[in-house]
Structure 1
Amino acid sequence: MSESPPKKQVDGHPTQGISVVVPVYRSAPTLVPLIERLTPVLKSAAEPYEVILVEDGGLDGSWQVIEMLAENDAHVRGIRLGRNYGQHNALLCGIRLARYSVIVTLDDDLQHPPEEIPKLLERLNAGFDVVYGAPEREQHSFWRDRASVITKIALQSTMGVETARHVSAFRVFRSALRDAFSAYRSPFVSIDVLLTWSTTRFTHVTVRHDPREIGVSNYTFRKLFNHAMNMVTGFSTVPLQIASLVGFGFTLLGVGLFCYVLARYFINGTSVPGFPFLASIIAIFSGAQLFALGMIGEYLARMHFRSMGRPAYAIAHVLGDPDEHGTVDVGQASYK
Structure 2
Amino acid sequence: MESTENDLSAEEQVSDRFRDGISVVVPVYNSQDSLQELCERLDRLFDKIALPYEIILVNDGSRDGSWQVIQELTQHNENILGLSLSRNYGQHNALVCGVRTARFPVCVTMDDDLQHPPEAIPLLLQGLTDDLDVVYGTPANLAHSPLRNAASLLGKLAVSSALGLNAARHISAFRVIRTELRNAFADFHSPNLQFDVLLSWGTNKFGAVEVQHDKRKFGRSNYSVLKLFNHALTLFTGYSTAPLRFATITGFSFSLFGFLVLIYVAVSFLLFGSIPGFPFLASVISIFGGVQLFALGILGEYIGRIFDCSMQQPLYLIRETTAGRSNVKDDSCEVSN
Q: Do the structures match in fold with TM over 0.5?
A: yes
The unaligned stretches of length 5 or more in structure 2 are 1-11
- Closer, same or farther: CA 111–14 of 1 in aligned 2, 3 Å: closer
How many Å separate the matches in 1 of 2:28 and 2:206? Answer: 26
Q: Which position in structure 1 is the counterpart of 2:57?
A: 53
- Closer, same or farther: CA 59–15 of 1 in aligned 2, 3 Å: same
Give the CA deviation at 1:327. 4.5
Give the CA deviation at 1:305. 1.0
Preserved contact between residue 15 and residue 50 of structure 2 (Cα < 8 Å):
no
TM-score by length of 2: 0.92
Q: Which amino acid aligns with 2:38?
A: L
Matches within 5 A, 1:1-336: 15-45=19-49, 47-270=51-274, 272-322=275-325, 326-335=326-335
Q: Deviations over 1:248-267 (max 9, x none)?
A: 01110110000000111112
How many Å separate the matches in 1 of 2:179 and 2:54? Answer: 13
Percent of residue pairs identical: 50
Give the CA deviation at 1:274. 2.7
Q: Which amino acid aligns with 1:302?
A: R
- Closer, same or farther: CA 29–328 of 1 in aligned 2, 3 Å: closer
Q: Which amino acid aligns with 2:151?
A: A
Q: Which amino acid aligns with 1:19?
A: S
Preserved contact between residue 56 and residue 98 of structure 2 (Cα < 8 Å):
yes
How many Å separate the matches in 2 of 1:298 and 1:82? Answer: 27
- Closer, same or farther: CA 95–48 of 1 in aligned 2, 3 Å: same
- Closer, same or farther: CA 180–66 of 1 in aligned 2, 3 Å: same
Q: Which amino acid aligns with 1:293?
A: L
SS of the residue 1:29 aligns to: coil
Give the CA deviation at 1:16. 2.7
Q: Which amino acid aligns with 2:261?
A: L
How many Å separate the matches in 1 of 2:55 and 2:324? Answer: 12
Q: Deviations over 1:228-255 (max 9, x none)?
A: 1111111111111111011101110110
Q: Which amino acid aligns with 1:331?
A: D
Q: Which amino acid aligns with 2:288?
A: F
SS of the residue 1:28 aligns to: coil
CA RMSD of aligned residues (A): 1.8
The total of aligned residue pairs comes to 325
SS of the residue 1:158 aligns to: helix
The unaligned stretches of length 5 or more in structure 1 are 1-7
Give the CA deviation at 1:210. 0.6
Q: Deviations over 1:37-73 (max 9, x none)?
A: 1112223446321000001111100000000001110
Preserved contact between residue 317 and residue 331 of structure 2 (Cα < 8 Å):
no
How many Å separate the matches in 2 of 1:76 and 1:334? Answer: 22
